[in-house]
Structure 1
Amino acid sequence: MSLHRISDQAFAPAASSIDCGDIPGAVLGIVTADGQRDVRWKGYAQIEPHEENLSRETWFDLASLTKVIFTTTTILRLMEEGRIALDDPLIKVIPDLRQYDMNAAERRLTFRQCLAHQTHLPAVEPLYTCGQDPNTLRAFILQRVWQSGPPVYSDINFMLLGIAIERITGKPLIDQPLPQSFSFRPDPRLCAATERCTWRGRVIRGEVHDENAFALGGASGHAGLFGTIDGVLDFAHGLLGGSILSAGSLKAIRTRESEKRTVGWEGFYPGWHGGDACSPTTIGHTGFTGTGLWVDFERGLAWSLLTNRVHPSRHKDSGILGLRRATGEQVIALFDGRTGF
C-alpha cells in the first residue's frame, strides 16, 4: 500500500470527527525515515466570526508541542555546545532563582528534572491573573514559593527552562531563530483560530492560546510556537534521520526517566494518545489546542495530527483522545500491512 493510500485511510477518524462537528478541522501528516511523506486535510481553519477553509499551509498554535520541538531541542543543543549539562542545576544560569532563600528546593532543580517533569512543581497555575508585564511575571515565577507536591506534568518546569534559554542566549524567546515553517509571530491570516477567549474578549487567531504564555509576551518555554504540518514533519524526519540532534541527545529523548517520561518527551505506555500499536520505544507529545506528534523509531515512521479542537471553545467534549488513538492505530496497522511500499 502506498503512503498516499495509508494517509488517506488513516485520516478517516479525523474526517468523521469533522463531519460530526466535534472539531472544526484537521490535518494529518505522515513521514518515513527515507523522506517519503503524505498529508491529508479537511474542515475549517475558522468558523467564528466567519468560516474559512483549512489547507495544507495553515499554521497551527502548537501549544505544548513547543516543549519538545523548541524548548527540549534548544536545551539539548546548548548541552551539545558544552554550555550546560543535563544534571546542572538551573541556578548555574539563573542564579537569582529563589534568591532570598538559599535552601529553597527550586535552587536544587536540574535541567534533566525539569525536562522529564520530575520536580515538585505544580502542573499549571493561572499566573496571567497577576498581570501582563512579562518581566515582572518572570520575576514572580522565579521568586514564588511554589507549593510542593509529587512529580506531575508541569508547565512551570518549562517556563523555567524558557527563562534559562533566554539567560544563556541573551535573547527573548520570541526573538529566537527558528526554521522557516515555525514562528512565535505568525501571520494571523494564515492561522487556524483557537478559542473565543473571555479574558481577551475575542476569538484568538495568530496569537498564543495559552494565557500564561500570552502574558509572558507571546512565547514561553511551555507554549507559543506556531507551525505548519510540513514544518512538524520536517522536524520529525530530522529526528528519524539523526540530523536534528546528536546521538547522545537522541539517546536522552529515547531513554526513560520515569514510567511515562523521557527527557522532554512522553514515552509509550498502554492507553496513551498515540495508540497501543506503537513500538515500545516510540516517543510522542500532545498540545492542548489539539495538536500531536509521534515518532516510532523502530518502524522509521512519524505522524502528526494537528487540529483546532478548542475553536470556538475548550468547554466541550471534542473526543480528542479517542481521535488521536484511532489515528495512530490506523497509521500503524496500514503501515505494517503495506505492500509495494
Structure 2
Amino acid sequence: MSRVNSQLDRAFAPLAAAIETGLIPGGVLGVVDRNGNRATRAMGLAQTVPISRPMREDTWFDLASLTKVLFTTERVLALADADCIDLDAPLTSVMPDYRHYNLDNWERKVTFRQCLGHQTPYPAVFPLYTYGRDPDLLRTFLLQHEFPAGPAVYSDINFILLGLALERLEGKWIREQDPGQGFAWSADPNSAAATEDCYWRHRVLVGEVHDDNCSALQGAGHAGLFGTVTSVLDFAEDKLKTAGSDALIRTPISARRTHGWERPFEGWSGGERCSSQTIGHTGFTGTGLWIDFTRGHAWTLLTNRVHPTRHFDSGIIPLRRAVGDAINAE
C-alpha cells in the first residue's frame, strides 16, 4: 500500500466517525505528495433537505475562506511580483477614494501586506449584507464606512478590501475574473454539496455562495470560490513542486500567519504533528487545506458541516486537528 493510501486510511477514521454520529452530513478527504501520488475518499450525504443526495468524490464545495488563499492571495502576490503593486504601500495607492473625506484616518494607511496577514485594526465581523443588496452601493458604502480601530484580529474585511483593489486593477468584478484552473464562482446544484437553509434568502443554498456579504456584493475577495477535491489537491501539488517560487506564502508576518495563510501554533487546525514548514487555511462551510513542505505532502478536508444550519456544534475544530494528526502520525 502506498504512503498516501495509508495516510488516507488513518485520517478517514475520524471523518467517518463524525458522519456516523451525525455531527456532519458528509465529507471528502484527499491527500497528495510532491511526486503526484494521491488518494481521495468520500462518505455521507451531500444534501439532506429538502432532498437526499450522496456525497461523491467529484462533489463541488463552496470553499468559503479558502478563497482568500486559493484566489485572492495568489492574485495579489502575482501583481506584486510583476511590480504592479507594492505590498507595503497603502490600499489608497490603488483606491485613492478610500475614506477620502478624512485624509488623516488610520484606514488610509493600511497596506496590502497588513491585509494579507490580518494585521489591521478592522473588526472581526461586519454584517455588510444588512445594508442592502445593491453591489455597487455596498462597495461605495464599505469604502467610506468609519470603523472603530481595535486589536488586530482575523477579519474578512481585509480580504474584501483586497478584492476591491483587484477589481480596480483588473477593471472588472471578481466574478468576472478567472477563478483558476478547476475552480468556479458557482456550481451545478446537482453536483454540489448543500450548505445552509438561509433565513434571509429563504432557500437551501446549493451551488451558490453561502457567505452573506459575498452574496450581497455578488462576488468578493474573501469567499465565493467553488472547487472539488481534485482542484484543491491540484493546487496543493503545484505548491509542493514549486515551493521556491512561492516564498511569501511561507514567510511569517506574525506568530500565526504568513502572507495569506496560517502557520502552526498551539491548537491550530492542522494538528500538532505537522512540521514547522506547514501552511494551512480553513473555510467556514467546513473546508480546509494544509501543505507541509518539509514532509512533502498536503491534505484537504471538505465537508458540508453548515448543512442545514450553522447553529449547531459540528465538532469541526477537533475533527480537523484529528485528521491532521492522523495524516502526520508516521
Please, what TM-score do these two structures have when normalized by structure 1?
A: 0.95
Matched, 1:241 2:241: yes
Residue number in structure 2 paired with 1:148: 149
Question: Aligned letter for 1:53?
Answer: P
CA distances 1:191-238 after superposition (whole Å, capped 9, x unpaired): 100001111111011111010000001x21110001000000011111
Distance 2:272 2:8 in 1: 18
Give the corresponding residue for 1:305.
301
Quick one: distance in 1 between partners of 2:190 and 2:50?
13
- Deviation per residue, 1:155-175 (Å, 9 max, x gap): 000000000000011121001
- C-alpha distance in structure 2 between counterparts of 1:68 and 1:310, whole Å: 21
Number of positions where the alignment pairs a residue of Structure 1 with one of Structure 2 = 329
Return the alpha-carbon distance in structure 2 between the equivalents of residues 226 and 4 of structure 1: 26
Q: Which residue of 1 aligns with 2:231?
A: 231
- Asked whether 1:18 is paired with 2:14, we answer no
Which residue number corresponds to residue 316 of structure 1?
A: 312
TM-score w.r.t. the length of structure 2 is: 0.98
CA contact (8 A) 2:90 2:111 kept: yes
Q: Is the 8 A contact 1:8 1:40 kept in 2?
A: no
- Deviation by residue 1:38-66 (Cα, 9 ceiling, x = unmatched): 10110111000010011111000000000
Other-structure match for 1:55? 56
Give secondary structure in 2 for the equivalent of 1:9. helix
**What residue is the counterpart of 2:277 in the other structure?**
281
Distance (Å, rounded) in 2 between the aligned partners of 1:187 and 1:50: 15
Structure 1 residue 281: Cα displacement: 1.7
Alignment of 1:1-341 (within 5 A): 1-2=1-2, 3-217=4-218, 219-242=219-242, 247=245, 250-333=246-329, 336=330
> Once the two structures are superposed, what CA deviation does each residue of 1:18-40 show, in whole Å capped at 9, x if it has no partner?
01010000100001011111101
Distance across 2 between alignment mates of 1:188 and 1:74: 28
Secondary structure of the residue aligned to 2:150 is coil
Measure the CA separation in 1 of the matches of 2:86 and 2:101. 25
Q: What CA distance in whole angstroms lies between the structure 2 residues aligned with 1:81 and 1:314?
A: 40
SS in 2 for 1:266: coil
- 1:188 Cα deviation (Å)? 2.1
Distance 1:270 1:185 in 2: 35
What secondary structure does 1:295 align onto? strand
- What are structure 2's unaligned runs of at least 5 residues? none
- The one-letter code sitting in structure 1 at the alignment partner of 2:303 is T
What displacement does 1:259 show? 1.0
Task: Report the 3-state secondary structure (helix = DSSP H, G, I; strand = E; otherwise coil) of the residue aligned with 1:286.
Answer: strand
Deviation at 1:6, TM superposition (A): 2.2
RMSD of aligned residue pairs (Cα, Å): 1.1
Q: Is the 8 A contact 1:25 1:308 kept in 2?
A: yes
Amino acid in the other structure paired with 2:210: H
Q: CA deviation at 1:118?
A: 0.3
For 1:339, the equivalent position in structure 2 comes to: none
Large movers: runs of 4+ above 4 Å: none
Q: Note the C-alpha offset of 1:242.
A: 1.0
Q: Find the residue that maps to 2:138 and give its secondary structure.
A: helix
In structure 2, C-alpha distance between the alignment counterparts of 1:150 and 1:236, rounded to whole Å: 32
Higher mean displacement: 68-77 or 80-89 = 80-89
Q: Which moved more, 1:1-10 or 1:16-25?
A: 1-10
Q: Is the 8 A contact 1:64 1:286 kept in 2?
A: yes
Q: Distance in 2 between matches of 1:116 and 1:179?
A: 22
Report sequence identity in percent. 56
Aligned partners of 2:314 and 2:224: how far apart in 1? Answer: 22
- The residue type equivalent to 1:25 in the other structure is G
SS in 2 for 1:135: helix
Give the residue type in structure 1 aligned to 2:268: W
5+ residue gaps in structure 1?
Answer: 337-341
Structure 2 letter corresponding to 1:19: E
| C-alpha distance after superposition, 1:55-109 (max 9, x if no partner) | 1110000000000000001101111111012111111111110011111111111
3-state secondary structure, aligned to 2:207? coil
